[in-house]
Amino acid sequence: MPLNVVILAAGQGKRMMSQLPKVLHCLAGQPLLAHVLATADALKPDCVCVVYGHGGDAVPRAFGNAGVAFVKQEPQLGTGDALRHALPQLGTADRTLVLYGDVPLIRAATLQAMLARGMPSVVVLTVELDDPTGYGRIVRDASGNVLRIVEEKDATVEERRITEVNTGIMVLPTAHLSAWLARLDNRNAQREYYLTDIVALAQADGVAVTAARAAAAWETLGVNSRVHLAQLERIYQARYAARLMEQGVTLMDPARFDVRGELACERDVLIDVNCVFEGKVVLGRGVEVGANCVLRNVEVGDATRIEPFTHIDEATIGAHCRIGPYARIRPGTRLAEEVHIGNFVEVKASTIAARSKANHLAYVGDAEVGRDVNIGAGTITCNYDGANKHRTVIEDDVHIGSDVQLVAPVRVAKGVTVGAGTTVWKDTPEGGLIINPKAQEHRPAWARPGKQKGERHD
């Protein structure tokens, strides 16, 4: 059935203590509003309208390509006034779903259950809370029918004892909206136009009002402070962790695990503590990720081991590799199977073929490395001339000793051995040894400098 979605996102969020609009604060690496937009999109609506206000045009700028309509509410005179601003943008769909930009964990399944109710009723999403402080209460008659929603500041002592509260999420018959919104008034403690007053107006017009109850309180929680934001972050991460473990992933401590994007894992993946996954990350069967690693937009092949404190960004890692500890793999890198990248090795915009190794203290940038290559400690590709980057090509079966400089553009041919301390600035022939001859001498009469009296070297 055709559907409009209106997302109310105009609140200032004073308790956030920030110049950033509340709905642009991030949960799991994405703005709060992005989560709500993704959930709305899952419902396949005909029209999505976001009502914004605080923070100027920062909200529409952040979602300029989202394919939704943005309407500014200024000044902010309440939720009813916000929906009134959205009316000109709504399509002809029979129903309008009202969501909130600071309620990021609401599930599409919960909203679908609301939409399954009959038309043209008003459907209000409610939840039971042990502590309902701050929420509007659901007032029912003796038969359990919803009569009205009363905001806490306007509630009587008896009404404040009610533990069923309004989440603010509603399904409304579009045809009635214009008339109902025109009849709202602001005769209340906050001098605002409450969207919740539509319930009483619907009752007066003989339109049925029903309540759908959320199965879990956490999905209806809003963000009003950084404390709330942190609480929802842990709820989000705990649920993500549970799904992964149900799919055969071992998390050494689910409470110390963060996904800020999408993480897809084959079976028997093991993830140690304090790892962060950003963007889209794919881990193959049997991959192990050591503690304190950060992976961003990475694909990792089967049975690869990523040692602790490794950062991998925009790269593809083959099967049966060993990376780290303390390695940095930068964007544009592609490692084939059985490659070893060891401690304090940095690789950038390079391809490294099967079974090649750079086990410690090296920099490989803008390079094409062949099969079965060994890159010694202290080796660097000198790829930048101060203005432009140049490529280094290292062909198959090359052995590079320690403290070697490869000055690009340069090609090290197949089967070459490069001696320790050598600077290679010309293309080499195949095979043999490349060295820069050096003379070692002994000066027996040489004396080591001594400290001047009273001199200190702290």
Nearest Cα residue to 269 out of 243, 237, 232 = 243
Q: How many structural domains are present in the chain?
A: 2
Same domain, 259 and 401: yes
Instruction: Encode burial over 359-368: b for 16+ CB neighbours within 10 A, e otherwise.
Output: bbbbbbbbbe
Question: Is residue 8 in a domain?
Answer: yes
Which amino acid, one-letter code, is at 258? D
Domain ranges, residue 335: 240-434
Residue 151 · residue 188 · CB < 8 Å: yes
Alpha helices, H only, 268-376 = none
Question: Is residue 370 in a domain?
Answer: yes
Three-class secondary structure of residue 48 per DSSP: strand
Would you state the pLDDT for residue 355?
98
Question: Is residue 132 in a domain?
Answer: yes
Tell me the catalytic residues: 360
Where residue 254 sits, what CATH number does that domain have? 2.160.10.10
Residue 176 · residue 145 · CB < 8 Å: no
First to last CA, the chain: 78
Same domain, 267 and 185: no
Would you state the pLDDT for residue 456?
65
Nearest Cα residue to 16 out of 31, 34, 2, 3 = 31
Nearest Cα residue to 280 out of 301, 302, 295 = 295
Same domain, 361 and 425: yes
Same domain, 271 and 377: yes
Q: Which pTM does this prediction carry?
A: 0.90
Same domain, 170 and 282: no
Question: Is residue 293 in a domain?
Answer: yes
Q: What are phi and psi of 196, to 5 degrees?
A: -65, -20
Q: What are phi and psi of 440, to 5 degrees?
A: -105, 130
Would you state the pLDDT for residue 120?
72
Would you state the pLDDT for residue 198?
93
Question: Is residue 118 in a domain?
Answer: yes
Would you state the pLDDT for residue 146?
87
| Omega prior to 60 cis, within 30 of 0 | no
Question: Is residue 442 in a domain?
Answer: no
Residues 6+ apart with CB under 8 A from 245: 251, 254
Token representation of residue 196: 């919740």
Same domain, 316 and 351: yes
Strand partners for 47: 4
In whole angstroms, give the CA distance from residue 441 to residue 219: 76
Burial, 342: exposed, middle or buried (Cβ in 10 Å; 0-12, 13-18, 19+)? buried
Question: Is residue 156 in a domain?
Answer: yes
Phi/psi region, residue 130 (left: phi>0; alpha: psi -120 to 50; beta: rest), is: alpha
Residues 6+ apart with CB under 8 A from 349: 330, 331, 332, 333, 365, 366
Residue 154 · residue 208 · CB < 8 Å: no
Token representation of residue 446: 């040489």
In whole angstroms, give the CA distance from residue 146 to residue 152: 17
Q: Among the three residues 161, 188, 220, which one is the final residue of a domain in this structure? A: 220
In whole angstroms, give the CA distance from residue 255 to residue 293: 15
Same domain, 341 and 264: yes
pLDDT in tens, the chain (458 residues): 789 999 999 987 889 899 899 999 999 999 999 999 999 999 999 999 999 998 778 999 999 877 899 999 988 899 999 999 999 999 889 999 999 999 999 999 999 999 998 777 899 999 999 999 988 999 998 888 888 889 898 999 999 999 999 999 999 999 999 999 999 999 988 899 999 899 989 989 999 999 999 989 999 999 999 999 999 999 999 999 999 999 999 999 999 999 999 999 999 999 999 999 999 999 999 999 999 999 999 999 999 999 999 999 999 999 999 999 999 999 999 999 999 999 999 999 999 999 999 999 999 999 999 999 999 999 999 999 989 999 999 999 999 999 999 999 999 999 999 999 999 999 999 999 999 988 889 899 988 888 777 666 56
Where residue 50 sits, what CATH number does that domain have? 3.90.550.10
Same domain, 277 and 166: no
Find the angle CA(398)-CA(403)-CA(422) to the nearest 5 degrees.
65
Same domain, 289 and 430: yes
Same domain, 297 and 352: yes
217: number of CA atoms within 13 Å, CB side? 11
Q: Among the three residues 220, 255, 271, which one is the final residue of a domain in this structure? A: 220
Give the CA distances from residue 311 to residues 200, 225, 273, 321, in Å, rounded to whole numbers and listed in that order: 57, 31, 15, 15
Would you state the pLDDT for residue 448?
83
Would you state the pLDDT for residue 333?
98
Same domain, 18 and 111: yes
Question: Is residue 414 in a domain?
Answer: yes
Same domain, 59 and 151: yes
